[in-house]
Amino acid sequence: MGNIETEINKRRTFAIISHPDAGKTTLTEKFLLYGGAINLAGSVKGKATARHAVSDWMEIEKERGISVTSSVLEFEYDGYHINILDTPGHQDFSEDTYRTLMAADSAVMVIDASKGVEAQTRKLFKVCGMRGIPIFTFINKLDRDANDTFELLDEIEKELGIATCPINWPLGCGKGFKGVYDRQTKEVITYSDTEKGTKEGETTVISIDDDTSVINAIGQERHDILKDEIELLDGASAEYDLERVREGKLTPVFFGSALTNFGVEVFLQYFLKMTTTPLPRKSGEELIDPVKHGFSAFVFKIQANMNKAHRDRIAFMRICSGKFEASKEVKHIQGGRTLRLSQPQQIMADSRKILDEAYAGDIIGVFDPGIFSIGDTVCAPSENIVYEGIPTFAPEHFARVKQIDTMKRKQFVKGIEQIAKEGAIQIFQEYNTGLEEIIVGVVGVLQFDVLKYRLENEYNVDIRLEPLPYEHIRWIMNKDIDIDKITGTSDMKKIKDLKGRPLLLFVNAWSVGMTLDRNEGLELTEFGTD
């Protein structure tokens, strides 16, 4: 047992979130470099191949130059076993990001020092906030002109509603960037630039009390500014409080430059100490302790077609407790049967490694013959664990799907159902019209393109999508209600989901309110979880 406990306590599983271009990929790459997982900067996102990151599996990603899917990177550093969950930056894939965050125990938020809090940062942060996980802030690109440091912190506090606690403090920016001041050790760490290096460059570490050396290193003017700022900071900023960090109420803030390799390793070291070991998770009313329970995991992502030659599907699972052993059978709760997980693997960059064992905190990808759905639990046969499902985002765009070659009905239905199972789209049918037409709902419009592309390429089925004007979807909560009697506005549409549950589509929020007014006792909900 001791061994399992040690292994689990070594694990740190986190996601990196940012607005596109803030430097998430660069930072990830430097982390991997320190862990020795890659040899040279540039492997994560080669400059020559422009925006082609390791997680870009699908052709469509290459064509569009965006990262559609999330990948998992794992490496060892300083006695820790680190799992980084990469999240797609594109806003149309926020649902995928949300699920990925469900698998993380903390998040690193990267902010561009010259931009501050941006649109996508705000959205992603909200999702982290929903889970109450610890959030660590890395303010990047200090080697370029940056916004005022106090204003940056103020913006995070006001816009995101989280208290900030700077762990270090930048000494100037851009051409005048001299390094950072570490508030915990009370030392000045001078700036060094090693863009291509494997470790941080030569820096000088000087105690703040050694005025002469500090002045020699950063100049009289910067020294004086720093002294004033320290005084201001010590008086005004929130105290470092690990408890509040763990509750997601206070974010420790670090400054640096991922590109020039400055402040990154220091950040990683602090972060690893401050963040949590794998967190317990809820099964019904019970909290499942990662160490005390046997193996359990939940599916947070299903990725199809990672290897085009084999048309395979990989179900990504986050292990929540115990030890996974490939040779042992596990219970698939939702499927109601016991099975051996096939080809369990760890996904590192674009290569895969078959593994025999893994521990709570780890992410494993297993071959999915089409039995898993997002949110499913698997556990040791002796355990009785059912993790809470992952709520689905209410789709905001709808289209009717027309099959061009009606002879291929079977392939079409199979394809669209499988893609829906992966959670990329949601499918609905007309209510009571007898029509077999399928209506798809998506959170981001780009998913329509993905659907069309995948049906053509993987299932050999051509479709035409006819956009529908609806933007709001509501499930009907009332059990005994005659759906035919519901009277709404003229633009309201009745549909049903795959489980036959009735739903209403509306063009605007006003129609939702109007329908509620007209039908006394009617209860509607935005979320379609079971």
Q: Which residues bind ligand G4P (CB under 6 A)?
A: 18, 20-26, 45, 47, 89, 140-141, 143-144, 257-259
Q: How far is the CB of 84 from ligand G4P (least distance, A)?
A: 13
Q: How far is the CB of 261 from ligand G4P (least distance, A)?
A: 9
Is 25 or 373 the residue whose CB approaches ligand G4P more closely? 25
Q: How far is the CB of 327 from ligand G4P (least distance, A)?
A: 38
DSSP reduced 3-state for 493: strand
The amino acid occupying position 45 is K
Q: Would you say 83 and 120 are in contact if contact means Cβ atoms under 8 Å apart? A: no
Q: How far is the CB of 67 from ligand G4P (least distance, A)?
A: 8
Q: Would you say 77 and 6 are in contact if contact means Cβ atoms under 8 Å apart? A: no
Q: How far is the CB of 53 from ligand G4P (least distance, A)?
A: 8
Task: Map tokens 């599996």 to a residue.
Answer: 57
Strands 250-255, 163-166: pairing kind: parallel
Q: How far is the CB of 312 from ligand G4P (least distance, A)?
A: 27
77 token code pair: 């550093």
Is 175 or 485 the residue whose CB approaches ligand G4P more closely? 175
Q: What are phi and psi of 33, to 5 degrees?
A: -60, -45
Work out whether the CA dihedral 451, 452, 454, 458 comes out positive or negative.
Answer: positive
DSSP reduced 3-state for 274: helix
Q: Would you say 324 and 358 are in contact if contact means Cβ atoms under 8 Å apart? A: yes
Measured CA to CA, the distance from residue 293 to residue 117 in angstroms comes to: 40
Measured CA to CA, the distance from residue 360 to residue 277 in angstroms comes to: 9
Q: How far is the CB of 66 from ligand G4P (least distance, A)?
A: 10
Please give the helix or strand (H or E) that residue 323 lies within, else none: strand 323-325
Q: How far is the CB of 91 from ligand G4P (least distance, A)?
A: 13
493 token code pair: 């549409």
133 token code pair: 């996980």
DSSP secondary structure letter of residue 87: -
Is 177 or 506 the residue whose CB approaches ligand G4P more closely? 177
Measured CA to CA, the distance from residue 107 to residue 110 in angstroms comes to: 10
DSSP reduced 3-state for 458: helix
DSSP reduced 3-state for 310: helix
Is 108 or 425 the residue whose CB approaches ligand G4P more closely? 108
Q: How far is the CB of 213 from ligand G4P (least distance, A)?
A: 27
CA 261 to chain centre: 24
Is 8 or 171 the residue whose CB approaches ligand G4P more closely? 171
Is 257 or 418 the residue whose CB approaches ligand G4P more closely? 257
Is 24 or 331 the residue whose CB approaches ligand G4P more closely? 24
Is 326 or 349 the residue whose CB approaches ligand G4P more closely? 349
Is 42 or 391 the residue whose CB approaches ligand G4P more closely? 42
Q: How far is the CB of 126 from ligand G4P (least distance, A)?
A: 18
Q: How far is the CB of 117 from ligand G4P (least distance, A)?
A: 14
26 token code pair: 């660069």
Is 173 or 451 the residue whose CB approaches ligand G4P more closely? 173
423 token code pair: 């959670």
Is 108 or 214 the residue whose CB approaches ligand G4P more closely? 108
Strands 11-18, 106-112: pairing kind: parallel
Is 120 or 511 the residue whose CB approaches ligand G4P more closely? 120
Within 10 angstroms of residue 203's Cβ, the number of other Cβ atoms is 18
180 token code pair: 């950072």
Q: How far is the CB of 72 from ligand G4P (least distance, A)?
A: 16
Half-sphere exposure of 508 (CA within 13 A, CB side): 2
Measured CA to CA, the distance from residue 288 to residue 275 in angstroms comes to: 19
Measured CA to CA, the distance from residue 188 to residue 211 in angstroms comes to: 11
Is 20 or 391 the residue whose CB approaches ligand G4P more closely? 20
247 token code pair: 């509750």
Task: Map tokens 């299932």 to a residue.
Answer: 459
Q: How far is the CB of 18 from ligand G4P (least distance, A)?
A: 5
Measured CA to CA, the distance from residue 201 to residue 324 in angstroms comes to: 40
